[in-house]
Every structure is written in structure tokens, then in C-alpha cells.
Amino acid sequence: MTETMARRQREMPTRIERPIPILAFDPDLAEDLRDEQLALARRQIVAEIFTCPAGPWTVGPDDFSGMANLGLLVIEGLLAREVTVGDYTCAELLGPGDVIQPWLRIGQEQSVATEIDWDVVEPVTVAVLDRAFCERAARWPEVLAAVSRRLMQRTHWLAFHLAVCGLRRVDDRLLSVLWHFADRWGTVTLAGVRLDLRLTHQVLAAVTGAPRPSVTTALKRLGDAGHVRPLPRSRWLLLGRPPSALQAVRKHSSRVA
């Protein structure tokens, strides 16, 4: 097998043939359903599942052609959507609950050249929200509305991300994004809020729009100040309370969105 073929094999998703009940994996999609609706909805709203290993993820125009009408729902794992303009790259981190359409590209007619790359930070499992899924879920419009809200939430989070990148100090950027991730994917423990995600210094640098050496230095300062504690395998424990700057960033981003 050639190196190109091997790389393409890593980038292609692996299909799990048996559809799974989506509401069992993402119960928040059914938060607006009445109790008497839940049992039937859980059985009937199913979707096909794909998995993708860690590494670069190149989604071609035909990989999900005619399948993902609404997009892909991330069930587990972590992805980075990296946007490069000139020599500057910034990343959006996506995880469980997010709805993505990685095959979309910015048109060639754009005045400013922009490159978009996807990287699987941790192995990802996605559900394909295709025509069959939409037909099954149509009986419960509340579920489709919940999917649409996920798409709208990304615009708010992107506005938040933009506001964070505008903070002057790298320490403030890091603490803000770490607490933002904690709100979404963290686990509260007696010691603090645990982020069981592979957030390397390089990933955090891309997310905050800061040089990696600056991120390493800022993380050490935050650790010495008792705000964060590094855990094995690039995991993090957040200590104390969210920074006051985070509320100001959220307020500003809500006005932008």
C-alpha cells in the first residue's frame, strides 16, 4: 500500500452498518418531547454511524453525497476546524452535540484566500442526519427543531470565540476557553471541573490564536496561580471559579451574535 493510499484510508470514515437510536446517545435532542412521546421516539429515530480515527480528516464531495441532508451529529470525540487566512490560522473546537457539515467549502470567488482543514483530535463517532433520519424524525418536529438550534448555537459560540481572541492577555484567553469547554463537556468532581479532552498546548494555541510557546508559558502561570492543574494525556482540571472576564466576554459575544 502506498503512503498516499494509507493516508486516505485513515481519513475515510468507517461505517457501522446497524443504525443506532440517536436519542439514547443524545437525549437532549428530546428535551421538548412529552413523556408519553419518548419511548416511541427513542425506538424510531435512528441514524447510521461513522467513525474516524485521529489525524487529518479530508471529507470529499462524494463521501456523504446524497446522505447528510442536515449534517453530521458528533456523538463522541473531538475535532478541530482550522481556518487559515494568509499566514494566520485559528481553530474552532467541536465535540459531542455539535452538528457539522465538513464538506462545505468557501467559494473560489472569495476575494480573500481562505483554507479550511479538519483535524480529528480524538477519534470521532458521528451520526448521519440524512433523508431517512429526517423522515423518521418528522413525526416529532421538536427533535428537528433541536437539531436546528445546535446549528444556531455554533454562531453564538463562534462570536464568543471571536471575542476571546480579542482579549489582550493570553492567560485570559486560555482561562476563558477552558471554562467554556468545561461548561460544554466538563465533569464536576470534588477536586474541581475535569476536562477529559485531549487539549494539547498546540490545540489550545490554535483555539486562542496565540503562539504555542506563549500558551505554554501562560499555562504555567495559570498553574502556579492555582487556576488549572495539568493531568496525564493532555487533560485539565479547572480549580476555583470561572474568571470574571468570562462574563464580560459572553455579554459582548451575545451582542455580536
We report the CATH number of the domain holding residue 156 as 2.60.120.10
Q: What's the whole-number average pLDDT of the chain?
A: 84
SS3 227: coil
Q: Does 183 lie in the same domain as 90? A: no
Q: Which of 126, 146, 163 is the last residue of a domain?
A: 163
Burial class (CB in 10 A: 0-12, 13-18, 19+), 85: exposed
Domain count, the chain: 2
Q: Does 116 lie in the same domain as 230? A: no
Q: Does 114 lie in the same domain as 154? A: yes
Say whether pLDDT at 146 is over 70: yes
Q: Does 27 lie in the same domain as 152? A: yes
Please tell me what DSSP assigns to residue 33.
S
Nearest to 71 by CA among 150, 138, 124: 150
Q: Which of 108, 138, 163 is the last residue of a domain?
A: 163
Q: Does 126 lie in the same domain as 7? A: yes
Cα distances from 212 to residues 176, 222, 224, in angstroms, run 17, 15, 18
**CATH number for the domain that contains residue 199:** 1.10.10.10
Q: Does 153 lie in the same domain as 119? A: yes
Asked if 75 and 25 count as a contact pair (C-beta separation under 8 A), the reply is: yes
Q: Which residue has the higher pLDDT, 8 or 90?
A: 90
Domain assignment of residue 223, given as a range: 169-256
Q: How confident is the model at residue 15 (pLDDT cuts 50, 70, 90)?
A: low
Q: How confident is the model at residue 148 (pLDDT cuts 50, 70, 90)?
A: very high
Say whether pLDDT at 94 is over 80: yes
Asked if 82 and 116 count as a contact pair (C-beta separation under 8 A), the reply is: yes
E strand or H helix at 230: strand 228-231
Q: What are phi and psi of 197, to 5 degrees?
A: -125, 150
